[in-house]
Chains A and B, each alone.
Chain A
Amino acid sequence: MVVALFGEGDVFLDFFYLLRAQGVPVSVREWLTWLECIERGLVAADLGRAYSVGRAVMVKHERHLDIYDLCFAHYFGGADAPEGLHDALEEWLSSPLPLPELSPEDFERLEKLDLDRLRELFEERLKEQTERHDGGSRWIGTGGTSPFGHGGRHPSGIRVGGRGRGRSAIQIAGERRFRAYRADRVLDTRQLGAALRRLRRLGRGERADELDLEETIRRTAQQAGELEVVLKPPRENTLKLILLMDVGGSMDDHARLVEQLFSAAHQASHFKVFKPLYFHNCVYDCVYEEAAMRTSVSLESLHRTLDSQTRLLIIGDACMSPYELFSVGGMINYHEHNSRTGAEWLYTLRTFFPHNVWLNPLPERFWSHPTIEAIGGIFPMRELTLEGLSEAVKLLSQTVPDTQRH
């Protein structure tokens, strides 16, 4: 019965690997549980139930529901009914960002294909295509030279689905009901706050003013009921955090996002020291205490007042003219002059605070810009999304001896 419904047994294995490849962290145990459900007849010969039971046992976070839907639609439903694709396509086409990897020649070639024609072609191909496709020059998929899909070499390659390696366009199918919960779409302040809350280093404080109940009971019992009160210092977060935010012009598009992260960090209020600071486009010898950039703080004084265990979280698009980063005197502010290049100052900042991450509000697919690449080589860079922030928090939580980190 089951085989009749799903085909040969190894289909399950493929489905398992597909889920894992797409970023749903299904464990072997969970997958076996699903098989167990099928074996015990919980699923019956009903694809709808196979879907919901599989989802209940294998997907454990709402952020993965959308990916599960796509994988399921792809594997068991074939490749038809890609309604969500229109959105993805619209989103891509209406994106205000230039494609940084395009050379003038590429633009010329791109102009030969106008957008409506491209869209038409895209849908046409999609109808013809029945399975996942990688490589080649015609089908929608990954790694080819067709204009559709992503990871390929076609200059204007329509990248459908937004992120990550290995997502093929055909999987952007199905109903997409859980789209809003994806981790690669930025969510609200509370969820950012939840991610930040994991950023902590617990240590005992100095003042013993918390009742140690266990110890009190133990000592009192030892003394046959003669009460002895034992106090201990409370556990507290000893982590210090600098939040360094770019308020340059190109960041205006991301103002809401940055504001959300700022308020999330501010509300978290569990850091021993939380220092929000600002800069414009690139960091030079000093940063500023407020977004209006009135009071400057030199990097030297930051280095003096905050120890090297302080975590540094930088938020910026890292997009600037190359001379702002690489040239002496390239500072965007005409009234000032920098005698060291921006890149040198960034290296200095990195040595001062070896625990650092750069969060970029631009999606990773736009990172092949010269200054983004250069800065990505100085600081570990992550996307400013819930997922990126979680990774950043993990990186910042590591205790790496200063000398080992470059």
Chain B
Amino acid sequence: MFEHFSGTESYIASAELREAVNVALALERPLLIKGEPGTGKTLLATAVSEALGRPLHTWHVKSTSKARDGLYVYDAVQRLHDSRFDDTSVSDIRAYIRFGGLGQALRSEEPSVALIDEIDKADLEFPNDLLHELDAMSFKVDETGDVYSAKHRPLVIITSNNEKELPDAFLRRCIFHFISFPSPELMAEIVQVHHPDVERILVEEAIARFYWLRDLPELRKPPATSELVDWISALVRGGIPAENLTDRVPYLGALIKKERDLLATQRAMKSTKSRRR
């Protein structure tokens, strides 16, 4: 009936996340994704574009980004430069319009996926400036008067790290999904994708250790999925056997990135050891 996303070989999506993507596809509404760092928010867009065979247009938002930048940029300075120092004709303004990620997706001839990455990085009012474009899926280039309307409404995936609250009017238009931290079972699947050849016992021990660490209440920045994946790579390269993980955490630096947290972890390990004795 309509396109259906069910994850890819390298991207394991929970049933609820798949549901959210499919609702966004069916309703042709933007999909807002939030979640802890390292839970694969940005990767989702790549996975969806691969799974659906749609091209991906990406727009990384920065603190200085303006809403129009994602649609197009008019390079007036280049045009001015050309008019003074170059003999090319500058009468065609269109030659100086550069389309941004969202603009490209809206102009695309085929159905596409547009990623607006880290929308919360920009100014508070930024999302509101995109309301019309996201509703109508069309935009106008003021300099030329050209209006571009999407032939196929692209699937717009928006990620946010919660640095700023997003405006209500914007939220109402979105489909929302919060990627919660993967359960140990789902985590085992994710690790399997990244490290298909690693011994199972090592993966199990590593995951157990990882969740023990995450549950330490003292940690300011608990390790995330990407850190676990890196840590397992380190364990494999270092040739660490699984039984060494029961009372130690080798290469702790791959998991814990703050000095305070390192100290807290060491304290916690000492206290569990002494309890065992």
CB distance from A198 to the nearest CB of B (A): 7
Q: How large is the interface on B (under 10, 10 to 19, 20 to 34, 35 or more residues)?
A: 20 to 34
Chain B, residues 89-106, CB within 8 Å of chain A (1/0): the string is 000000000000000000
Residues of B within 8 A of A62 (CB): 34, 178
- Taken together as a complex, chains A and B put the C-alpha atoms of A195 and B124 apart, in Å, by 12
- Taken together as a complex, chains A and B put the C-alpha atoms of A227 and B76 apart, in Å, by 12
Residue pair B83, A225 in contact (C-beta under 8 Å): yes
Residue pair B178, A181 in contact (C-beta under 8 Å): yes
Residue pair B165, A37 in contact (C-beta under 8 Å): no
CB distance from B20 to the nearest CB of A (A): 4
Q: How many residue pairs between the two chains, A and B, have CB atoms under 8 Å in the bound complex?
A: 72
Residue pair B171, A57 in contact (C-beta under 8 Å): no
Residue pair B176, A42 in contact (C-beta under 8 Å): no
Residue pair B172, A65 in contact (C-beta under 8 Å): no
Residue pair A194, B162 in contact (C-beta under 8 Å): yes
Question: From residue 151 to 176 of chain B, which have CB atoms closer than 8 A to chain A?
Answer: 162-165, 168, 171-172, 174-176
- Taken together as a complex, chains A and B put the C-alpha atoms of A49 and B16 apart, in Å, by 8
Chain B, residues 34-74, CB within 8 Å of chain A (1/0): the string is 10000000000000000000000000000000000000000
Residues of A within 8 A of B19 (CB): 49, 52-53, 56
Known contacts A52-B16, A52-B19, A65-B178; A198 and B165 CB within 8 A of each other: yes
B84 at the interface (CB under 8 A from A): yes
A182 at the interface (CB under 8 A from B): no
- Taken together as a complex, chains A and B put the C-alpha atoms of A59 and B175 apart, in Å, by 8
B23 at the interface (CB under 8 A from A): yes
Residue pair A40, B26 in contact (C-beta under 8 Å): yes
Q: Closest residue to A54 on the B side, CB-wise?
A: B23
B177 at the interface (CB under 8 A from A): yes
Chain A, residues 10-32, CB within 8 Å of chain B (1/0): the string is 00000000000000010101100
- Taken together as a complex, chains A and B put the C-alpha atoms of A49 and B19 apart, in Å, by 8
Residue pair A190, B163 in contact (C-beta under 8 Å): yes
Contact with A33, one of B27, B32, B162 (Cβ below 8 angstroms): B27
Residue pair A27, B178 in contact (C-beta under 8 Å): no
Residue pair B124, A37 in contact (C-beta under 8 Å): no
Residue pair A56, B165 in contact (C-beta under 8 Å): no
Which of B19, B29, B84 lies at the interface centre, i.e. has the most chain A CB atoms within 10 A of its CB? B19
Known contacts A56-B19, A60-B32; A194 and B164 CB within 8 A of each other: yes
CB distance from B29 to the nearest CB of A (A): 8
A125 at the interface (CB under 8 A from B): no
- Taken together as a complex, chains A and B put the C-alpha atoms of A177 and B171 apart, in Å, by 22
CB distance from B156 to the nearest CB of A (A): 15
Residue pair B164, A60 in contact (C-beta under 8 Å): no
Residue pair B163, A42 in contact (C-beta under 8 Å): no
CB distance from B48 to the nearest CB of A (A): 15
Which of A36, A41, A60, A190 lies at the interface centre, i.e. has the most chain B CB atoms within 10 A of its CB? A60
Chain A, residues 166-178, CB within 8 Å of chain B (1/0): the string is 0000000000011
Q: Closest residue to B170 on the A side, CB-wise?
A: A60
Closest 7 CB pairs of A and B: A60-B171, A62-B178, A56-B20, A52-B19, A60-B176, A52-B16, A217-B76
Inter-chain pairs besides A191-B162, A225-B83, 4 sampled, C-beta below 8 Å: A29-B172, A33-B29, A59-B176, A60-B176
